[in-house]
Amino acid sequence: MFREKYSKELNNPQMLDYGVYLQCDKLLSCQKPLAELSTHDELQFQLVHQVEELWMKQIIFTLIDVLEKIQLNKSIPILSQMRRVHMIQRLMIQQLDLLETMSPKEYQQIRLQLGNGSGQESPGFVTLLKMPKDIWQLFEKHYLHERKQTVQDIYDEQFSHCDAYAVAEALIEFDELMQKFRWDHMFLIRRSIGINSNSLKGRPVEVLQNGARQQFFPELWDVRSQMSDTWGQEYGKVRDSISKKK
């Protein structure tokens, strides 16, 4: 009775200016009507996915601006836009936790509703996977080649905490947060579907582990190990102890 009562109210919102501007009528009808949900947790399942798609739309839109700004060497706007991207990425990771409140049985009931749908088909994620290639090409051209410097220079040989270094760190943070999203998503799968079960697109553990290992800006990761090797050569593998004990 309450479900019907409040469902009706939600689905016929009063269209004052707030609702008109935000298109609340359309927004609130993007989910199954409450009366048709297969299980209590299905609304949350749909909403978390929809919200994540919206956040990815915002990230993509922000990264388009970043691509334009890289071509103009506008480092300060790039850094502030990337800060926004990182905040959204953290929100996206946090939101996955909500789905860990769902019982494995309820997930099985929801799964029957999904057809052949898989996160691999997420329009936002598929687009996001393509963007780092363009970002790296522009970063190389405008921050490295045109300035006649290498990644090694800005991180080590000529390190001065310059704008190229700050932008590179913003890129690696994006990369790290993409990987963290993928690892956290694997824990979510462990909690709901189980990591060794057969998924719609093959065994999830393989599909997902390959993805979680993907590095978008390998040059920025590699420079750290190269530095450790180079610096390490100076004092050799075994260093002098700094404790007084012999």
Residue 189 in the binding site for ligand HEM (CB under 6 A): yes
Nearest approach, Cβ of 102 to ligand HEM (angstroms)? 6
Instruction: Identify the bridge partners of residue 202 per DSSP, sorted by sequence position.
Output: 199
Rg (CA), the chain: 23
Q: Does 207 bind ligand HEM (CB under 6 A)?
A: yes
178 CB neighbour count, 10 Å cutoff:
22
Contact (Cβ atoms closer than 8 angstroms) between residue 52 and residue 43: no
Q: How far apart are CA 152 and CA 115, in angstroms?
A: 49
Q: Which of 62, 75, 118, 226 binds ligand HEM (CB under 6 A)?
A: 118
Q: Of these, 69, 139, 153, 204, which contacts ligand HEM (CB under 6 A)?
A: 204
Q: Minimum distance between the CB of residue 63 and ligand HEM, rounded to whole angstroms?
A: 16
**Among the listed residues 199, 216, 217, 220, the single contact to ligand HEM using CB under 6 A:** 199
The Cα 161–Cα 39 span in angstroms is 53
105 vs 145, beta carbon nearer ligand HEM: 105
> What is the C-alpha to C-alpha distance for residues 211 and 179, in angstroms, rounded to an integer?
8
List interacting residues with ligand HEM (CB under 6 A). 48-49, 52, 96, 99, 107, 118-120, 122, 125, 182, 185, 188-189, 192-193, 199-201, 204, 207-208, 211
